């Protein structure tokens, strides 16, 4: 690890680290972020590993120019254009339907993606130099306070990141405001550095209640955390019914003598980071095939294995 003053040279070095799948802590105007290449699933998995979160949480993609939003979401709306015009760069995060290129691990399997253009010269220069959107949560360990100075990051995560760029104290000091656009309405998901009133001055009333994800027009699209529609269970010999179309999700190898309709491996080398990076996309793939049942192998509950198991347990409970 190295904590370095942000300047042209260190930002360039940090950008190379991002391009090579490493982790960079960097300043934004809200709080410091723990960043990785947002289009590289393995790099994104490292974020969860370092944060020691016991579960996955969708991440914000940070971009450096307003125009690149369209690469990550196909949604067009005049109100969104207004918001971007007025508040970007700044402490406003937009949750929108995601485009294909956004990896599932960034959104934790959701069909929506959170995007923000931060208002900090170091962040913007880093994103531009990296040539990729930077996925970043706040640079604290799970359950700790968000860092507003480089030394906070050093204290929490000093030995876990490849470089910490010191860009001084975050001027806003609280996280961005998050709003979701859904069926032509805006919903406040998290209050933050931009007030609701300021947003409403631009686009009119926004909602604060829960989004009704059970409307028939949007089956499953909005569920905050992904869970497959196909029943999912942990392996159990009794469930191996040959009259059923059963898909299997193993950790590194197929250990079961049964004709599965489809088999997916999370990581042939047995690497939990790779397994995490593949988890949501493999579940999506399995789900596409109209299976009667998905059977999954438990993984060891250490490191990223805890978050993987948390997700799988939730998915299996759901269908009891
Ligand atoms: O100011 C900020 O937003 C800072 C700086 C680094 O940009 N970032 C930040 O990230 O606070 P994080 O990961 O600590 O919080 C992001 C929040 C999480 O609560 C997450 O659940 C929510 O954004 N979020 C991300 N993607 C989402 C999505 N697709 N749908 C709903 N919520 C989402
Ligand atoms: Mg946070």
According to the model, what pLDDT value does residue 36 have?
Answer: 98
Identify any residues that bridge with 177 across adjacent strands, giving them in sequence order: 92
- In the sheet with 293-296, reading across from the earlier edge strand, the strands are 232-234, 293-296, 246-250, 262-265
Domains with residue ranges and CATH for the chain: 3-208 (3.90.870.10), 232-319 (3.40.50.11030)
d(CA 93, CA 103): 18
Q: Are 298 and 209 in contact (CB under 8 A)?
A: no
Can you read off the two tokens belonging to residue 64? 């450096």
Q: What is the pLDDT of residue 49?
A: 94
Please report the pLDDT score of residue 165 as a whole number. 98
- Ligand 2 mean position, distance from CA 137 (Å): 6
pLDDT confidence of residue 81: 97
The span from the CA of 95 to the CA of 85, in Å, is: 16
pLDDT in tens, 1-15: 589 999 999 999 999
Q: What is the pLDDT of residue 228?
A: 62
Q: How far is CA 235 from CA 150, 226, 229, 300, in A?
A: 45, 20, 18, 14
Closest ligand to Cα 47: 1
Distance from the CA of 320 to the center of ligand 2, in angstroms? 32
Q: For position 213, what pLDDT does the model report?
A: 58
Counting every residue written for the chain, the total comes to: 320
Any idea what the Cα angle at residue 122 is, between residues 121 and 124, rounded to 5°? 65
| Tens digit of each residue's pLDDT (9 = 90 or more) over 88-102 | 999 999 999 999 999
Q: What is the pLDDT of residue 142?
A: 86
Question: Dihedrals φ, ψ of 180, to 5°?
Answer: -110, 135
pLDDT at 227: 57
The pLDDT of residue 1 is 58
3-state secondary structure of 149: coil
Q: Name every protein residue with a CB atom under 6 angstroms from any ligand 1 atom.
A: 28, 30-31, 33, 57-60, 91, 93, 95, 107, 110, 112-114, 116, 118, 136-138, 175-176, 178, 189-190
- From 35, 59, 92, 164, mutation site for ligand 1 pocket: most ligand atoms within 8 A of C-beta: 59
Q: Nearest Cα to 71, choosing from 137, 136, 131, 16?
A: 131
Measured from the Cα of 91, ligand 1's closest atom is: 1
Q: Which residues of the chain have pLDDT under 70?
A: 1, 212-228, 318-320
169: tokens are 């104290």
**What residues are neighbours of ligand 2 (ion), with CB under 5 Å?**
138
Output the CA 259–ligand 2 centroid distance in Å. Answer: 44
């Amino acid at each position: 690890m190295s904590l370095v003053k942000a300047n042209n040279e260190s930002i360039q070095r940090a950008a190379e680290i991002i391009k090579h799948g490493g982790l960079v802590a960097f300043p934004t105007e809200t709080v410091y972020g723990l960043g990785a290449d947002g289009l590289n699933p393995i790099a994104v998995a490292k974020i969860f590993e370092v944060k020691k979160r016991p579960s996955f949480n969708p991440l914000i993609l940070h971009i450096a120019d307003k125009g690149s939003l369209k690469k990550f979401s196909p949604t067009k709306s005049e109100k969104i254009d207004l918001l971007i015009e007025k508040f970007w760069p700044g402490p406003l995060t937009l949750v929108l339907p995601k485009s294909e290129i956004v990896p599932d691990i960034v959104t934790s399997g959701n069909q929506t993606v959170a995007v923000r253009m931060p208002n900090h010269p170091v962040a913007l220069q880093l994103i531009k130099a990296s040539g990729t959107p930077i996925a970043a949560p706040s640079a604290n360990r799970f359950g700790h306070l968000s860092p507003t100075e480089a030394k906070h990051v050093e204290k929490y995560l000093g030995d876990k990141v490849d470089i910490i760029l010191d860009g001084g104290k975050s001027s806003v000091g609280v996280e961005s405001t998050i709003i979701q656009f859904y069926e032509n309405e805006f919903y406040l998901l998290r209050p933050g550095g931009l007030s609701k009133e300021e947003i409403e001055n631009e686009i009119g009333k926004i909602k604060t209640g829960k989004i009704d994800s059970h409307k028939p027009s949007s089956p499953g699209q909005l569920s905050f955390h992904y869970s497959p529609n196909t029943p999912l269970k942990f392996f159990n010999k009794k469930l191996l019914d040959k009259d059923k179309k059963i898909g299997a999700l193993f950790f590194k190898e197929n250990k079961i003598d049964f004709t599965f309709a489809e088999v997916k491996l999370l990581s042939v080398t047995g690497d939990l980071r790779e397994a995490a990076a593949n988890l949501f996309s493999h579940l999506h793939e399995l789900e596409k095939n109209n299976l009667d049942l998905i059977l999954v192998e438990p993984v060891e509950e250490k490191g990223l294995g805890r978050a993987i198991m948390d997700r799988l347990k939730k998915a299996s409970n759901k269908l009891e």
